[in-house]
Amino acid sequence: MLVNYENILSDVVQQMKPSGIRRFFDLAATMDDVISLGVGEPDFSTPWSIRKEAIDVLEKRKIVYTANAGLSQLRAEVANYLEKKIHVKYDSEHEIVITVGGSEAIDIAIRGVVNRGDEVLIVEPCFVCYAPIVQMAGGVPVPIATKEENKFKLKAEELREKITDKTKLLVLPFPNNPTGAIMTREDLEEIAEVLRDTNIMVLSDEIYSEMTYGRKHCSITELEGMQERTILVNGFSKAFAMTGWRLGYLCAPEPVAKQLVKIHQYIIMSSPTVSQYAAIVALKECEHDVERMVKEYNIRRRYLVEAFNRIGMTCFSPEGAFYVFPSIQCTGMSSEEFCETLLEEERVAVVPGNAFGESGEGFVRVSYAYSLRHLMEAVSRITRFLEKHGGIHE
Amino acid sequence: MNELLHLLKTNARLTNAQLADMLGKTEQEIADEIRALEAKGVIRGYTAIINEELAKNTEVEALIELRVTPKRDCGFDDIAKTIMMYDEVETVSLMSGMYDLALTVKGESLKEVAMFVSQRLSAMEGVLATATHFVLKRYKEKGILIEEEDYDERSMICP
């Protein structure tokens, strides 16, 4: 008898939408000479001192499990780092969990707080994982669309409109992938004001916190009364160019962290040991490497913003992450149409904005985690494309 | 370092318009800044980084260590200035450590370089000793990999 897989597989998983960029990815993979601006990870190599530490650890240590919550020295360094960067104190023994990338931190944070039927507010456009995880946890994702006219920041009234008595959690992803938007202290203060009287928790995904341009990152945990209602997620992938090391962390008030670490313990046991040792070096010794990379990103960011605005793909000047999010309105195409045609005609891959939520329609995400030489070639191809498709009127 | 200099060091062929975009300035400002840097002598020249093997350049290059006796009043400057007058000499640096001056010298053949060292440099007044090391292969120059393509291991698209 043939197996009826539909009956075997879980309803939730079957109903989950495949990632919007998959089809596009497959298409790009069939072509030669594609110049990609489609990647969400740094182009830099992990700084050598971090890699050297990992090599030494492999040579000298037994690579065994660590404490569930992570090496206590690493948690202490995370606490130091956060105190230095955002002036917020966490008890490294009870409030910090080292996770498998920021991704696991997001997963266990959502699973740890959502009951069946709870609503989770998700600020969009955003990274693709939040809604599916909420669905797996039995919750209901409720998107809050941000707008270009507000530089894709979350506004208090947009938040207030979506809050119901079922709202459990707000996912606040800033600096934002894909828009590059940031929230300043004043922007966050408005949001905090709405949340203070409620029992809503915040999942603040600050994975791009080191990548801000012109001003320092502000965490919502810095605001009065907010640390106690926030699960802070961060990691090593973006700041230290360590995506493949799979290491992140979450910080939460002790009663929350105590429960979340149980999930981590059952599904993961402990995060990769070699990566944890290497991450200690990242936090202690690599501030200059981070500065060097951010400086480089900034040069590329300015270059792309100017270039896109010049060719008619209007684009607000993003202050964070490593993406620009230009409008493609001038071509009259949908995001997916634009990306497919651009790929077919000029062999340049960018990601359709709607892959990050419906409110991303009409935009594309362009990553500048690429060398200037690469970016310049891509810009000249996109310019040619726009000349042909009605973007440039001169 | 000054961001403009940093960019020019990685690619001196960037146009003023491109530099202006990258640095958030106007083309005019960039032109003025570069002119000023050239006038002050901060920028001494622009050059290309070449894979000599692919360019089929058969010249040989050597690093030469020199131990010299410093002169009273002018120290090493005097002898360094004399040495750099030779066209064969590409770079001259004053070093800390076991020897005093480091030179790079280019010539058509090993013999030509060796003869230059023995006849010109060793014979110079104040030169106590020389050591010649021929360059067999250059891997990286001014931060740029000479042979390897920088291969992007990342997947083409990821969220």
HSE, side-chain direction, 13 A CA sphere, residue B61? 12
| pLDDT confidence of residue A26 | 85
Q: How far is CA A85 from the centre of its chain?
A: 19
| pLDDT confidence of residue A280 | 98
Q: How far does the CA of residue B104 sit from the closest CA of chain A (Å)?
A: 29
| pLDDT confidence of residue A391 | 62
| pLDDT confidence of residue A2 | 85
Q: Do A25 and B22 touch (CB under 8 A)?
A: no
CB A117 within 8 A of CB A272: no
| Nearest alpha carbon to residue A232 among A72, A86, A111, A121 | A86
Render pLDDT for A81-103 as a digit per residue (tens, 0 to 9). Answer: 999 999 999 999 999 999 999 99
Q: Do B156 and A376 touch (CB under 8 A)?
A: no
Same domain (yes/no): A93, A180 = yes
- Model confidence at A306, pLDDT cuts 50, 70, 90, reads very high
Distance of alpha carbon A252 from alpha carbon A258, whole angstroms = 9
| pLDDT confidence of residue A317 | 95
User: Which residue range(s) make up the domain with A259?
Assistant: 48-285
Lowest mean pLDDT segment, chosen from A72-86, A107-121, A219-233, B111-125: B111-125
- Out of 1.25.40.20, 3.40.50.150, 1.10.10.10, 1.20.120.420, the CATH code matching B3-40 is 1.10.10.10
Render pLDDT for A45-78 as a digit per residue (tens, 0 to 9). Answer: 999 999 999 999 999 999 999 999 999 999 999 9
**Neighbour count for residue A139 (Cβ, 10 Å):** 23
Chain B nearest-CA residue for A351: B157
Chain A nearest-CA residue for B21: A303
What single-letter amino acid sits at B138?
R
Task: Give residues 9 to 38 of B whose Cβ lies within 8 Å of A.
Answer: 10-11, 14, 18, 20-24
Show which of A285, A306, A339 is a domain's final residue.
Answer: A285
Taking the Cβ of residue A351 and every Cβ of chain B, the question of whether any pair is shorter than 8 Å is answered with: yes
3-state secondary structure at position A316:
coil
| pLDDT confidence of residue A392 | 63
- Tokens linked to B83: 């040495």
Q: How far does the CA of residue A81 sit from the closest CA of chain B (Å)?
A: 26
CB nearest A29 (choices: B3, B14, B156): B156
CB A119 within 8 A of CB A140: yes
**Neighbour count for residue A104 (Cβ, 10 Å):** 24
Residues from chain A that touch B155, judged by Cβ atoms under 8 A, are 25, 39
Chain A nearest-CA residue for B20: A303
Q: How far does the CA of residue B133 sit from the closest CA of chain A (Å)?
A: 29
CB nearest B156 (choices: A25, A300, A376): A25
Q: Do A21 and B22 touch (CB under 8 A)?
A: no
Residues from chain A that touch B24, judged by Cβ atoms under 8 A, are 302
Same domain (yes/no): A122, A270 = yes
Asked whether residue A278 is domain-assigned, the answer is yes
- Tokens linked to A319: 């202050």
Same domain (yes/no): A42, A52 = no
Same domain (yes/no): A186, A307 = no
Share above pLDDT 70 across residues of chain B, in percent, rounded to a whole number: 99
> Residue A42: CB partners within 8 Å, gap ≥ 6?
A237, A238, A241, A243, A293, A322, A369
| pLDDT confidence of residue A213 | 97
Show which of A251, A285, A319 is a domain's final residue.
Answer: A285
The label of the residue with tokens 């030779």 reads B86
Question: What average pLDDT does the segment B118-123 reach?
Answer: 93
Residues from chain A that touch B149, judged by Cβ atoms under 8 A, are none
Same domain (yes/no): A274, A324 = no
Tell me, what DSSP letter sits at residue A312?
A: T
> Residue A240: CB partners within 8 Å, gap ≥ 6?
A46, A47, A50, A279, A282, A286, A289, A290
Same domain (yes/no): A85, A177 = yes
Asked whether residue A393 is domain-assigned, the answer is no
Asked whether residue A245 is domain-assigned, the answer is yes
Residue spans in chain B of domains classed CATH 3.30.70.920? 60-137
| pLDDT confidence of residue B18 | 95
- Model confidence at A44, pLDDT cuts 50, 70, 90, reads very high
| pLDDT confidence of residue B144 | 84
Q: Do B150 and A371 touch (CB under 8 A)?
A: yes
Q: Beta strands A96-99 and A248-251: pairing type?
A: antiparallel
Chain B nearest-CA residue for A36: B156
- Out of 3.40.47.40, 3.30.70.920, 3.90.180.10, 3.30.413.10, the CATH code matching B60-137 is 3.30.70.920
State the ipTM, two decimals: 0.79
Lowest mean pLDDT segment, chosen from A189-203, A210-224, B50-64, B67-81: B67-81
Q: Helix B27-40 vs helix B16-23: angle between axes, to the nearest 10 degrees?
A: 110
Render pLDDT for A245-282 as a digit per residue (tens, 0 to 9). Answer: 999 999 999 999 999 999 999 999 999 999 999 999 99
Q: How far does the CA of residue B11 sit from the closest CA of chain A (Å)?
A: 9
| pLDDT confidence of residue A29 | 86
Residue spans in chain B of domains classed CATH 1.10.10.10? 3-40
Residue A276, H or E segment: helix A273-285
Lowest mean pLDDT segment, chosen from A164-173, A187-196, A300-309, B76-85: B76-85
CB A204 within 8 A of CB A170: no
| pLDDT confidence of residue A263 | 98
Q: Do B156 and A39 touch (CB under 8 A)?
A: yes
Question: What average pLDDT does the segment A156-170 reach?
Answer: 98
Same domain (yes/no): A123, A248 = yes
| pLDDT confidence of residue A337 | 95
Same domain (yes/no): A259, A201 = yes
Distance of alpha carbon B98 from alpha carbon A115, whole angstroms = 72
Taking the Cβ of residue B2 and every Cβ of chain A, the question of whether any pair is shorter than 8 Å is answered with: no
| pLDDT confidence of residue B147 | 84
- Tokens linked to A88: 């917020």
pLDDT at residue A394 tops 60: no
Q: What is the CATH number of the domain that holds A22?
A: 3.90.1150.10
**Neighbour count for residue A373 (Cβ, 10 Å):** 12
Asked whether residue A394 is domain-assigned, the answer is no
pLDDT at residue A17 tops 90: no
Question: What average pLDDT does the segment A100-107 reach?
Answer: 98
Render pLDDT for A352-385 as a digit per residue (tens, 0 to 9). Answer: 999 999 999 999 999 999 999 999 999 999 999 9
> Residue A19: CB partners within 8 Å, gap ≥ 6?
A128, A355, B159
Taking the Cβ of residue A349 and every Cβ of chain B, the question of whether any pair is shorter than 8 Å is answered with: yes
Residues from chain B that touch A21, judged by Cβ atoms under 8 A, are 157-159
Residues from chain B that touch A40, judged by Cβ atoms under 8 A, are 158-159
Same domain (yes/no): A168, A257 = yes
pLDDT at residue A30 tops 60: yes
Distance of alpha carbon A217 from alpha carbon A232, whole angstroms = 14
Q: What are phi and psi of A45, to 5 degrees?
A: -80, 155
- Tokens linked to B150: 């920088």
Task: Return the C-alpha torsion angle A256, A261, A263, A269, nearest 10.
Answer: 170
CB A208 within 8 A of CB A175: yes
Q: How far does the CA of residue B15 sit from the closest CA of chain A (Å)?
A: 11
Q: How far does the CA of residue A6 sit from the closest CA of chain B (Å)?
A: 28
Asked whether residue A239 is domain-assigned, the answer is yes
CB B142 within 8 A of CB B11: no
CB A201 within 8 A of CB A229: yes
> Residue A12: CB partners within 8 Å, gap ≥ 6?
A135, A136, A138
Same domain (yes/no): A109, A173 = yes
Tell me, what DSSP letter sits at residue B104?
A: E
Asked whether residue A40 is domain-assigned, the answer is yes
| pLDDT confidence of residue A176 | 98
**Per-residue burial over B71-96, b = 16 or more CB atoms within 10 Å of its CB, e = otherwise:** eeeeebeebbeebeeeebbeebeeee
> Residue A122: CB partners within 8 Å, gap ≥ 6?
A130, A131, A134, A141, A142, A143, A144, A171, A357
- How many domains is chain A partitioned into structurally? 2
Same domain (yes/no): A25, A55 = no
Show which of A259, A285, A311 is a domain's final residue.
Answer: A285
- Model confidence at A133, pLDDT cuts 50, 70, 90, reads very high
Chain B nearest-CA residue for A214: B24
Which of A30, A31, A36, A370 has the most B C-beta neighbours within 10 Å, making it the best mutation to test the interface with B?
Answer: A36
| pLDDT confidence of residue A393 | 53
3-state secondary structure at position B155:
coil
What single-letter amino acid sits at A54?
A
Same domain (yes/no): A281, A305 = no
Q: Do B159 and A355 touch (CB under 8 A)?
A: yes
SS (H, E, C) A131-172: HHHHHHCCCEEEEEECCHHHCCCCCHHHHHHHCCCCEEEEEE
Asked whether residue A186 is domain-assigned, the answer is yes
Chain B nearest-CA residue for A369: B154
Taking the Cβ of residue A299 and every Cβ of chain B, the question of whether any pair is shorter than 8 Å is answered with: yes
Render pLDDT for B28-73 as a digit per residue (tens, 0 to 9). Answer: 999 999 999 999 999 999 999 999 889 999 999 999 999 999 888 7
Q: Do A41 and B158 touch (CB under 8 A)?
A: yes
Tell me, what DSSP letter sits at residue A359?
A: G
pLDDT at residue A121 tops 60: yes
- Tokens linked to A158: 């947009």
Distance of alpha carbon A215 from alpha carbon A182, whole angstroms = 10
CB nearest B156 (choices: A34, A307, A372): A34
